[in-house]
Amino acid sequence: MSNERELAEGARAWPFEEARRVVKRIGGKTPEKGYVLFETGYGPSGLPHIGTFGEVARTTMVRQAFQRLSDVPTRLFCFSDDMDGLRKVPDNIPNKEMVAEHLGKPLTQIPDPFETHESFGHHNNARLRGFLDTFGFEYEFQSATDWYTSGRFDEALLQVLRHYDEVKNVVLPTLGPERRETYSPFLPLCPKTGRVLQVPVLEVNPEAGTIVYEDEDGTKVEVPVTGGQCKLQWKADWAMRWYALGVDYEMSGKDLIDSVKLGSQICRILGARPPEGFNYELFLDEEAKKISKSKGNGLSAEEWLTYGPTESLALFMFQKPKAAKRLYFDVIPRAVDDYLSHLAAFDGADEKRMENPVWHIHNGTPPQPGTKLSFAMLLNLASVCNTEDPAVLWGFISRYAPEASPESDPFLDRLVGFALRYYQDFVKPKKSYRAPSDKERAALEDLAGRLRALPKDADGETIQNEVYAVGKEHGFENLRDWFKALYEILLGQDQGPRMGSFMALYGLEESLALIDSVLQGESLQASS
């Protein structure tokens, strides 16, 4: 047994806890299908979103952990429910009138409103694959349309037909009175219109493999449940897919706990063991309300990646997946700096590495840390410089860390760009400087004198000690009040970096000039 295997068996990070459940499930043996199957699902009526990223990222982390615990091959299916009938026209598409004419049809049978692919479903599937490929996920794309129409689901559909009443009776208690009257697990595709029909099923013929339903015009129609001529309602469909594919692991949001229980019952009725599961919490918006796609009160993956690197988003998904978390722009800087902190700490003891989030973000081989500058420091540098030009920030960075350059530290260069964009869009509009009180003015005068006495190349720790000493000597019982005053007076904001480190980065002379401007009564608001 390798040392890595031993460490993995004792690792406490949640992906390893999940992976050990999968190891226990297979009992040390390769499943009959030849691999362990991880699955994520996607409803392609809309564009991929941050939840899509989160589910694939988290499932990938569990898969990676499993690969350290077992030599059994694995696969990850990203399954698109593209045979679902479109119920309403999305708001964010062109050619809405054209799409409206095809409501009720499977997504892969609706013309592409963007006019780039053979259908609306194919268009959205391409968007999904492009989205996942951007992040470098290893997955296999699967289309419900392909599985249904190719016959690969036929045996499983016949099994549902054989257990029709049992499956139906599992679902019925979850429905309202009207819906119970007409519910059937099977939805036929109308031979005349191509629409997915929610109609009463009059007869079930397991031997013939058919159902008889009453068409919208009142006529009786008999159709096979195989060959893509019927599809299943989604809860039964989910369970059938677990059965047909032999899914071993699939996670889902907390809002689907009841659906997972129901699907598990159906899966057992069909004769298979339901997959291991994991229910993650949902995200909250700026006001701590549940995020809704229809309300648009969330944060998209594209928006996050405008202001922070992929690694920071992956870390956000890794951290406390069973806790409800605010997902808004103001969480990005903290996520970036948390990532940098974890990366810096990775070179510790071997037994701790698998507990470190960066192990899971980078599949065990994170990059070497670069120049030690936090995102908060870059944001505040952007703030005092009031610039959109990366070269301006690099001028200060190069003086602070001569070995650093955009070429030698491309990740830091990316962070500079993110910091400038974040500053312009979120910090600058809210900047508000205030004048110092008499007590604060006296402390600033003392601080200026102490800083002038330091060597020009004094490091951050030396400067920090002086800042700290001034706060103590001028009666700031809670030193947080002193530092908060510095942020509000010098930076125009109520939070900020470690002042010593920031002044070392900005430059001692520049920092003194900033303090002197305040002491001379000049408005920093005007310069911003």
Q: pLDDT per residue over 149-194, tens digit each?
A: 999 999 999 999 999 999 999 999 999 998 998 899 999 999 999 9
Its CATH class, for the domain covering 3-164+235-280, is alpha beta
pLDDT tens string 296-324:
556 888 899 999 999 999 999 999 999 99
How many H helices and E strands in the chain? 25, 12
Residue 348 confidence (pLDDT) = 72
Please check the confidence at residue 390 and state whether its pLDDT lies above 50: yes
Domain ranges for the chain, please list them: 3-164+235-280, 286-350, 375-430, 438-527
Residue 49 confidence (pLDDT) = 78
Please check the confidence at residue 295 and state whether its pLDDT lies above 70: no
Question: Whole-angstrom Cα distance, residue 374 to residue 472?
Answer: 26
Question: Whole-angstrom Cα distance, residue 5 to residue 184?
Answer: 48
Question: Whole-angstrom Cα distance, residue 1 to residue 193?
Answer: 60
Residue 294 confidence (pLDDT) = 47
Q: How sure is the predictor about 202, in pLDDT bands with cuts at 50, 70 and 90?
A: very high
- Residue 381's nearest CA partner among 517, 502, 510, 526 is 502
Tell me if 3-164+235-280 shares its fold with 438-527: no
CB distance 255 to 216 below 8 Å? no
Q: Where are the beta strands (DSSP E) in 165-234?
A: 186-188, 201-205, 210-214, 220-224, 230-232
Residue 514 confidence (pLDDT) = 92
Q: How sure is the predictor about 1, in pLDDT bands with cuts at 50, 70 and 90?
A: very low
How many Cα atoms are found within 13 Å in the side-chain-facing hemisphere of 294?
2
Residue 344 confidence (pLDDT) = 94
Can you tell me whether residue 191 is helix, strand or coil? coil
Residue 525 confidence (pLDDT) = 65
Residue with tokens 């001529």: 229
Structure tokens at 74: 């694995």
Residue 112, Cβ neighbours under 10 Å: how many? 20
CB distance 137 to 60 below 8 Å? yes
CB distance 157 to 151 below 8 Å? no
Reduced DSSP (H G I as helix, E B as strand, rest coil) percent helix, strand, coil of the chain, to 5 = 50, 10, 35
Structure tokens at 471: 């706060």
Question: Whole-angstrom Cα distance, residue 281 to residue 300?
Answer: 17
Its CATH class, for the domain covering 438-527, is mainly alpha
pLDDT tens string 404-429:
999 999 999 999 999 999 999 999 99
